């Protein structure tokens, strides 16, 4: 896919660095099925490009890195919209970020919330603007990521903190994210991309084979979570179109508190 053909993202190669920018600022860079498809194509293009030694993932504007799946789209149509493949392949994108044999740097320029938070967690390292904020929202809007988004997060920040992040749906500052080991560095917002590109340039002169094998080695300990991710995505497909799942999406779109009480089951 030619870079000019992308509509939801921007793909650029700057020397040895591929920069993938989620480009839906009017929806806080929330993704649809089409966005995920374009992200997948961009990561595959960066994988195949022998000149590319590192990949930066970021968001357009200064408000949001990514706020996850487009809940307004889901409230309108019951899904995340059309794609060329006819599928919503967020699980495949998660695996691709892990599998691409080059360091992936998240440049978190604003809100990294929900599914957008999962994307930065899955990147090899994360650099945050001092204005960035982090958190999960699933249980608030009738959604969840019971695969990499929770199981791998627990490896990053520990079980107790991961459960807090998912159950309470709080938001955390960049400083709090650094303290819990969720990000590698905090910089002023206007220095974010320069810093991310400096990290990418620094790793570009390292042995690509050594980096590939090291990344595969790091992933080996948690690759079994791919099975959990597949099962979780299947469960989410069923849950998202249920009355309870749609109540969360509709409440978000209508800017009202969700009414989940009637769905409580004591078993």
Q: Which residues are annotated as a binding site?
A: 80, 111-115, 136-138, 143, 255
CA angle 131, 134, 136 (to 5 degrees): 155
Which residue numbers belong to the known binding site for hydrogencarbonate? 136-138
Number of alpha carbons in the 13 Å side-chain half-sphere of residue 190? 0
The DSSP result for 112-155, as a single string, is EETHHHHHHHHSSEEEEETT-EEE--HHHHT----SHHHHHHHH
User: Using an 8 Å Cβ cutoff, are 183 and 124 in contact?
Assistant: no
Tokens of 9: 């993202």
Lookup result for tokens 């791998």: 152
Which residue numbers belong to the known binding site for substrate? 80, 111-115, 137, 143, 255
Helix-strand-coil split of the chain, %, nearest 5: 50, 15, 30
Tokens of 235: 């469960």
User: Using an 8 Å Cβ cutoff, are 85 and 46 in contact?
Assistant: no
């Amino acid at each position: 896919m030619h870079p000019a053909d992308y509509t939801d993202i921007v793909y650029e190669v700057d020397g040895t660095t591929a920069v993938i920018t989620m480009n839906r600022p009017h929806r806080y860079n929330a993704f649809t099925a089409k966005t995920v498809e374009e992200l997948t194509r961009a990561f595959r293009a960066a994988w195949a490009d022998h000149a590319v030694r590192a990949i930066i993932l970021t968001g357009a504007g200064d408000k949001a890195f990514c706020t996850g799946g487009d809940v307004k789209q889901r409230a309108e149509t019951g899904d995340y919209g059309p794609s060329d493949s006819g599928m919503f392949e967020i699980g495949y994108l998660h695996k691709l970020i892990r599998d691409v044999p080059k360091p992936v740097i998240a440049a978190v320029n604003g809100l990294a919330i929900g599914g957008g938070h999962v994307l930065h967690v899955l990147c090899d390292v994360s650099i945050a603007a001092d204005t960035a904020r982090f958190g999960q929202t699933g249980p608030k809007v009738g959604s969840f990521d019971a695969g990499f988004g929770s199981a791998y997060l627990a490896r990053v920040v520990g079980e107790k903190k991961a459960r807090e992040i998912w159950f309470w749906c709080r938001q955390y500052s960049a400083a709090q994210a650094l303290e819990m080991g969720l990000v590698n560095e905090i910089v002023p917002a206007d220095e974010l991309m320069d810093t991310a590109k400096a990290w990418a340039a620094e790793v570009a002169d390292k042995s690509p084979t050594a980096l590939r094998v090291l990344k595969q080695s790091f992933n080996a300990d948690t690759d079994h979570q791919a099975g959990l991710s597949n099962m979780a995505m299947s469960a989410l497909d069923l849950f998202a179109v249920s009355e309870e799942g749609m109540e969360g999406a509709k409440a978000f779109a209508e800017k009202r508190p969700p009414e989940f009480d009637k769905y409580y089951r004591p078993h």
